[in-house]
Structure 1
Amino acid sequence: MSEARADIYARITNEIVAAMEAGAGEWNMPWRHDGSSVARPVNLISRKPYRGINTLALWIAAHAKGYGDGVWATYRQWVERGAKVRRGEKAATVVFWKQIRGRIQETIDEADVFDVDDGRPRFVARGYAVFNRAQVDGYEEPDAPRLPESERVAHAESFFTALGIPVAYGASGAWYRVSEDRIYMPDFGRFAEPTGFYSTLAHECAHATGASHRLDRDFSRRFTKQAVAAEELVAELTAAMILADLGLAAHPRADHAAYLSSWLELLENDRRAIFTAASKAQAAADWMHARQRASAAQKESEAA
């Protein structure tokens, strides 16, 4: 690695740490969604927000699973819109209160219903299984603004293609699935800006560099319960470094530090953690650059 690049990486690391310690504001996903996961979950068909305990239940479910979309619907509602819930997906439960009159002598959907007949209206709770947009295939949010293909950056496209890491597009969010050694990404058009797309892709590629057949990165012994936090530090630092190398960001984006602010406990418990993360991020970025040379050499060999 060149001395100039090493200086850039050191500066990026220092800037992110400073931003984290100063408080970098709120992190928002760089791809477009309806925003209801931030305000209130909404139903696919009615577009009305869920209310009361349902709001809390769906917030908890979305947070636990890392869903980046606030749209929910029953299995039948998704089918009506041409989508299909993926096999093995677990539903969240919402409650609908129905007004009744007269004598009821059974329990409906595990709700307590009393045997009374005094003519007064009563409400019974009925439970419904709902699935998040992230759990289905074949659905595209109508009339969503899309980033045009003309906004793609050619040299960045070549850079990530040369890594040889499998990427599946069309996902509702972004993640690296270790068991498949595959990255899942939203389509390019769903991002608010090109830099957000390449930053997210770089983050997930950084995770992929930790696979056993690549850099074999494992923080489970070094950081035990905070191993995930350490890995996220590496991924975000790597993404910031790669964007700088590609000329897409002279400084780390504010959302890098905002995203990482939730991991400040790791730095507070271990002041050397950021140096370890920066070293591993540098190794990940170096691996990506090495892949560029290997890819170019392979193309020359095939052309000969």
Structure 2
Amino acid sequence: MPGAFEIVMDERKALVDKIIGMMKQGYFFNKEEWDRASLRPQNPLSKVQYKGGNRLRLMAMVVEHGYKDPRWATARQYSEKGYFIKKGEHGVLCEKWIFEKQKKVKDQNGNVTFETVQLDRPQVSFFRVFNAEQVQDFPGFGRNECPEPEIDTVVDRIIDTSECPIHEIAQDRSFYSPSLDEIYLPLRSQFKDQTSFAKTLLHELAHMTGAASRLNRKFGGPFGSEGYAKEELRAEIGALFTETDLGIPLSGEHYEDHSDYLRSWISVIQNDYNEFFRACADAEKISDRLVSNYAKKYELPFAELTEVPVREHAEEKQEPVRTEEQIR
């Protein structure tokens, strides 16, 4: 019987295969018909927002199954509130890595205390979550919790909270210059619409976060190289996370053709599917920084999900679906 590590690795490969399938069709989470609110997976019971690879995994499930609800929780969490998974529904595996533990130590007086120590090898566990639409009689998601933002206002505020100068000039390309620590964009009138301008802006701001004075990522190589593709993948996922957190529609298009980028990303993650999860982890740091800069100065254009109340009369005969939540 496979252990937790083998199960998690198999699920990682399956997710990357799904993402590669999207890329081969010419898109990466930018379809107009996808509901942006559902792409902010959160747990209304634990107040947790899913991060990194788990976030991308749940976003992919939203796309695959057409869910409109952003709420995910374990069967146990639902059952504690008196709700149960519908028959025939399957959960989505999320992974958890443990890098440290509490160790008992004695001080010079013989008193026992605890200190945090790093594990020589991280331990992996997993659990399964279900979308609220998979739960019997679960309260519906209030659409008014995620009002549509004024895109012009959001774009101006994003620019205002940038950590480097942004220049809009008449040119046919967009880029971040690490040596100058400046962003250069075409004129807004050159974009299809304001949403497309926002999408390109956030992509370049994601690159900006990699400067040594910020998140200190290694910028790599010329266009087409592996190092270049890795940084582009991080910037694109980081921009995607930021778009959903700031409420920007996903239907925008980059100013430049991304077919070449998609092909380069495929080659990187196809050779090493764990690279996709490393990119997701870095992308979460990118998004956290950009959203934090925005939040410090402006109120975010969305409300947090509220906790679901306990039902007075839970169904007595239906058993909750069992989930794996412990280290194996």
TM-score tier by shorter-chain length is 0.3 to 0.5
Larger Rg, first or second structure (1 or 2):
1
Structure in which a larger fraction of residues adopt helix: 1
**RCO greater where, 1 or 2, for CA within 8 Å and sep 6 or more?**
2
